[in-house]
Amino acid sequence: MTWFENVDKIKFEGPKSNNPLAFKFYNPEEKINGKTMEEFLRFGVAYWHTFTEDLSDPFGVGTAIRNWDKYDGMDRAKARVEAAFEFFEKIGAKYFCFHDVDIAPEGDSLRETYQNLDTIVDMIKNYKKDSDVKLLWNTANNFTNPRFVHGAASSSNADAFAYAAAKVKKQLEIGKELGGENYVFWGGREGYETLLNTDLKLEQDNLGRFFHMAVDYAKEIGFDAQFLIEPKPKEPTTHQYDFDAQSTHAFLLKYGLEDHFKLNIEANHATLAGHTFEHELRYARVNGILGSVDANQGDPLLGWDTDEFPADIYSTTLAMYEIIKNGGLGSGGLNFDAKVRRGSFEQNDLFHAHIAGMDHFAVGYKVASQLAEDQVFEKIIDDRYASFKEGIGKDIVEGKADFKSLEQHALNLGEVENKSGRLELIKATINQYLLNAYAGK
Ligand code: XLS
Ligand code: CA
Ligand code: CA
């Protein structure tokens, strides 16, 4: 049985190819800095957007045409596993990610849900035996079901807190069973709609308690995956507690969780927070908490979490620059938390979309590697901050200055002389690198 009949394994054909089912820029075997693109980029497929998503939106029903939808319930869940492994092989992604509810339907009770999960997890385990595809991360969906209407770990209802804990416990066990390399917490409803009925302190303290319990349980069962929190400022709640990288970092520090968590940075969540993708990556990188990436993009005209496939090579270049400077993503990867548009309802669009995403990150990777090799930004930044390498600047950095010595320095200065920031030149240089990368090929 094959689920994608008209598609063979996607190959690299180079920038001149017109074949919609071929990579133009992503060459898995090409080496950059001693590593193949495949090894460095660690692409992941998001189970929910690729196999579970029906492309419905708040105003319209699903449009997706999927072979596996001729079944329902557990039969459909099993068909999806078959289709998923065929897709992973054909697109050549080595990782995948899922929520509990993506892989198996919820039963009438938590016990029945567990049974459904166990059946599917056994099946995935079997498929994994004949494949080198690995689990990048799994997670518990503690936001869709009405039981989480007031939140999960930050719910006003202790029973919802307990139910959420049970679901995470089960996913930690499954992560261990499937050799998951990371485990993600995205606080879908961990936030509030209004302060008028919210005990903000209790909710955040409970969230801290919940994360500690998760850390303890993972330790107890010997599950040593990297824990990741995925920041997002809003949607579905008005205010989400893991607002952005910086506020999540503050939360981790406040609750003594900093040794156990890194961040999963999503491009679209960055823009919802009013930041660039590279801002969130940079903040996480320089603070040693960049763990993994949800590779997508938003639509600045809409301002929702549209989860589009990455197509902006300027953005993928700056993102890959941060990832290169981070020394790669460690156990993390580039997970396409992205869905095809509602109008792209044919099954093959799933291939076109992933090819585009992989190609655009490959371009970004190549250009960013060249920028890093030529030390383009390093030179600019070194020069810009040169005043901190000698004299009074060096004293400031080394903690040898105080207000009295600074005043003395200022009194003798005359006036402060600044140098140009040269932003236009910098942008033109980036474009030059982008345009030159494939020139003549
Ligand atoms: C939703 C999030 C979600 C997480 C995993 O906006 O991106 O899909 O990645 O729960
Ligand atoms: Ca995400
Ligand atoms: Ca998202």
Q: What tokens appear for 394 in the block?
A: 């060096």
For the stretch 65-94, pLDDT in tens is 999 999 999 999 999 999 999 999 999 999
* CA–centroid distance, residue 307 to ligand 3 (Å): 5
CA distance 131 to 350: 21
What's the pLDDT at 439? 87
For the stretch 182-216, pLDDT in tens is 999 999 999 999 999 999 999 999 999 999 999 99
What's the pLDDT at 39? 98
Mean pLDDT of 172-190: 98
Cβ-contact 227, 215 below 8 angstroms? yes
Q: How many CB atoms lie within 10 A of CB 393?
A: 15
Q: What tokens appear for 274 in the block?
A: 């009013």
Mean pLDDT of 282-299: 98
* CA–centroid distance, residue 267 to ligand 2 (Å): 9
For the stretch 329-376, pLDDT in tens is 999 999 999 999 999 999 999 999 999 999 999 999 999 999 999 999
Q: Is 339 in the pocket of ligand 1 (CB under 6 A)?
A: no
Sign of CA dihedral 41, 46, 47, 51: negative
**Number of helical H runs and strand E runs in the chain:** 16, 14
Q: Please give the C-alpha separations between residue 139 and each of 10, 300, 327, 437, in angstroms, as whole numbers.
A: 29, 28, 26, 38
Which amino acids are annotated catalytic?
99, 102
Cβ-contact 245, 263 below 8 angstroms? yes
Residue having the nearest C-alpha atom to atom 4 of ligand 1: 186
What's the pLDDT at 245? 99
What's the pLDDT at 1? 79
- Which distant-in-sequence residues (6+ apart) come within 8 Å of 281 by Cβ? 265, 290, 293, 319, 322, 323, 326
In this predicted structure, the answer to whether residue 441 has a pLDDT above a threshold of 80 is no
